[in-house]
Amino acid sequence: MTECIECGADVTLHDDLEVGEIVDCATCGAELEVLGTDPVELDTAPELEEDWGE
């Protein structure tokens, strides 16, 4: 269990968490990016404009 950095609520994490993965906070809905897994470190996931092609 780790705290949501937006609302402070506990965030449930699955076992095979990967760096770069985005998890949603079930309480406030914030998108959190996994910066590290051992120990788990979360930060607000950046908004990234999606483009239709490169």
Q: How far is CA 46 from CA 15, 20, 28, 41, in A?
A: 23, 11, 16, 15
Is residue 50 part of the contact set for other proteins (CB under 8 A)? yes
Taking CB under 8 A as the criterion, the residue among 1, 20, 38, 39 binding other proteins is 20
Is residue 42 part of the contact set for Zn ion (CB under 5 A)? no
The amino acid present at 8, given as its one-letter code, is: G
Terminal Cα distance for the chain, rounded:
38
Name which of other proteins, Zn ion, none residue 41 binds, using a CB cut-off of 5 to 8 Å depending on partner kind: none
Q: Which is nearer to Zn ion, 44 or 49 (CB)?
A: 44
